[in-house]
Structure 1
Amino acid sequence: MASQLNPYLTFDGNAREAMEFYHAIFGGELKVNTFGEFGAPDPAIADKVMHAMLTTDRGYVLMASDTAPGMGTFTPGDTMTVSLSGDPGEGLEDVWEKLADGATVTLPFEKQMWGDLYGQLVDKYGVPWMVNVGATQ
C-alpha cells in the first residue's frame, strides 16, 4: 500500500452513526472496529468506535473514531486530524521525526496494541497529526 494522507474525524460517541451516514452518501466499503474488539477493559466503551474507515469507489478515504479514553474531552470544532499511514520502509518514521520538531507529542510514536507503530502530535503550527506505520507481517 502506498502512503495515504486522509482526514480523520473524531466524534462524541456517535462515530458509527456518522460513518453509516457518510457510507449512505458516498457508498463504498465501511469497516468499523470497536474498543472492545481490541481488548479495552472498560465495558462503558466496548461498543464505541476505536477506528472506522470508509473507502469509496471514487478513491475517497474517510476515517473516524469516538473520543478515546485519556484523549481529552470532545470539543466541537477540534474534531479533525490529518492521518498519515503506510507500510514500513516508506519513510514515515522520518516524517514523524520531522513533524515532531517543535511539536507537542500527545501520544508517543511507539508500537500499539494493534501491532502498528503509531503516534499523535500537534505540530508547531497547531495542526494535529496521526502517523501510523503498519506492522510487518
Structure 2
Amino acid sequence: MTVTAVTHLNFRGDARAALGFYREVFGGELSLFTYRDMDAVEDPAEAEQLVWGQVDAENGFRVMAYDVPSSRLWSRGEDPFFVSLRGDSADEITALWKRLADGATVAVPLAPSPWAPLYGMLTDRFGVTWVVDIAAARP
C-alpha cells in the first residue's frame, strides 16, 4: 500500500491562475474542473471558478487547488502553511527557484545554509510561501 501527501491550496478566485503558474514552473498535466462542470453552482458569478484542479508533473511535483465559494468563510491567513520543495540537484532547484521567484517576495535568498547545500524561502505572487532546498544527508 502506498500513501501520498499532496498539498491542497485554497483560493478565492485565483486557483486557475495559480495552477497555471505552477504548471509553467514545474511542467506536467493540468486538470481543471469548474463548479459548472460539477453541476455545483451556488453563485452564477462563480460558475467558472474551480471546484478542483491539479498539476501533476513527471518529476514528482503535484499540487491541488480550488476556489472556496463565497458561501463559505475563508481567509488567506498569515503563514498557515509552507510548501516544501526539496530536490537533490542544485541546477534543477535553482531553475525552479528562479521561476517561482517571478513576482514573488523573497524572504531568504537561495544560498547555502548550515543545514542544506541550498536553501531559500519566498512568498509567490499568489501568497503561497515556499521553502526550497536541497536535501542533505543527516550525520
| TM-score, normalised relative to structure 1 | 0.52
Matches of 1:78 and 1:50, distance apart in 2: 23
1:32-111 equivalence runs, <5 A: 32-41=32-41, 42-77=43-78
- Flag the structure with larger Rg: 2
Q: Which amino acid aligns with 2:40?
A: A
Structure-1 residue corresponding to 2:122? none
Give, in angstroms, the shift of residue 3 of structure 1.
Answer: 3.2
Cα 1:79–1:35 change in 2 (3 A) is farther
Q: Deviations over 1:48-79 (max 9, x none)?
A: 01111110111111001111344312334366
* 8 Å CA contact retained: 1:7, 1:80: no
Judging by fraction of residues, say which structure has more strand. 1
Cα 1:2–1:34 change in 2 (3 A) is farther
Give, in angstroms, the shift of residue 11 of structure 1.
Answer: 1.2
Unaligned runs of 5+ in 1: 82-137
Structure-1 residue corresponding to 2:21? 21
Q: Which amino acid aligns with 2:33?
A: N
Stretches of 4+ aligned residues off by more than 6 angstroms? none
Q: Which amino acid aligns with 2:46?
A: I
Q: Deviations over 1:13-72 (max 9, x none)?
A: 011011101100100101011111111233121100111111011111100111134431
Unaligned runs of 5+ in 2: 83-139
Matches of 1:66 and 1:72, distance apart in 2: 12
Matches of 2:33 and 2:81, distance apart in 1: 19
Matches of 1:80 and 1:13, distance apart in 2: 19
